[in-house]
Structure 1
């Protein structure tokens, strides 16, 4: 006999009868409750963000903006009109203060693997054209070079820190790479 899985089960004779001496009556099964849409923690929550402009921060530090056109159950994203924004700071000898720079590079249609997404959020279109506070636009090649130099310095600091921890007996992930 095939059951219709979309309709609630019909109570059987033992469920209609009250509790008897043998304890056969169980009463009606509890109804399943629907979760509110705010409770979705899966890729289904991306439905509300489809066709909206998003900022996507990736695990490797890149920041992308683009219009979300498609996604799947693994949160793989297809972004249209994608722009990568790179930030860097440089010292201005005249003012003796760090100066923030940013630059944009257009990528067009971009596929982002879901496991690489660190943060995702909708962009306020009223503030989208404003430059980031404390930053000014510069050439992409200049900003990219400064950003790569900063990442190299940070990697060297992290490597030294891990070496010092290893001498104290602490082991972390990727320690084999550091010691070689």
Structure 2
């Protein structure tokens, strides 16, 4: 194991059995309890859920036991509940103005936001001076 991999293993070992946030290359945020990892940063999360945020709306979409390939991991960090040793219900508390909605609702809002972004990009194509 190279010294970089040794350092990674040592730092992840301190996160075992604690609530973590994993940011993926595609921009998704997964939260859960770190149960296992290897030297390639492949991780196993128990009780995992994806937190989707669009504007002031959010939804926590359950994934259960989830295996993540290390090549897709951008960042792994302890959640605020792990740092402060809070109860699970207080996991990664969001600002008070955030509204929890269903998974179906957040996907609909996410699609509408994506459609709007695409139409705005088409309208501004004439500004592309390449």
Fold match (TM-score > 0.5): yes
CA RMSD of aligned residues (A): 2.6
The equivalent of 1:4 in structure 2 is none
Query: Which has the greater radius of gyration?
Result: 1
Please show how residues 126-165 of structure 1 align to structure 2 within 5 Å.
Answer: 126=86, 127-128=90-91, 130-154=93-117, 157=121, 164=128
- Is the Cα–Cα contact under 8 Å of residues 57 and 101 in structure 2 kept in the other structure? yes
Deviation string 1:125-170 (CA, Å, 9 cap, x unpaired) is 2342634343111111111121233234445639x66x925xx2xx
Please say if 1:104 is aligned against 2:60. yes
Match for residue 51 of structure 1 among 7, 14, 17: 17
Q: TM-score, normalised by structure 1?
A: 0.56
Relative contact order (alpha carbons < 8 A, sep ≥ 6): 1 or 2 greater? 2
Q: TM-score, normalised by structure 2?
A: 0.74
Structure with the higher fraction of residues in strand conformation: 2
- Is the Cα–Cα contact under 8 Å of residues 55 and 120 in structure 1 kept in the other structure? yes
Instruction: Tell me the matched-pair count.
Output: 116
Which consecutive unaligned segments of at least 5 residues does structure 2 have?
Answer: none
Distance change in 2, residues 1:155/1:123 (3 Å): same
SS of residue matched to 2:14 = helix
SS of residue matched to 1:60 = coil
- Is the Cα–Cα contact under 8 Å of residues 43 and 70 in structure 2 kept in the other structure? yes
Deviation string 1:40-96 (CA, Å, 9 cap, x unpaired) is 3x343211111110011111111111000001111001000001111112xxxxxxx
Structure with the higher fraction of residues in helix conformation: 2
Distance change in 2, residues 1:132/1:56 (3 Å): farther
Which consecutive unaligned segments of at least 5 residues does structure 1 have?
Answer: 1-34, 90-99, 169-180
Distance change in 2, residues 1:59/1:153 (3 Å): farther
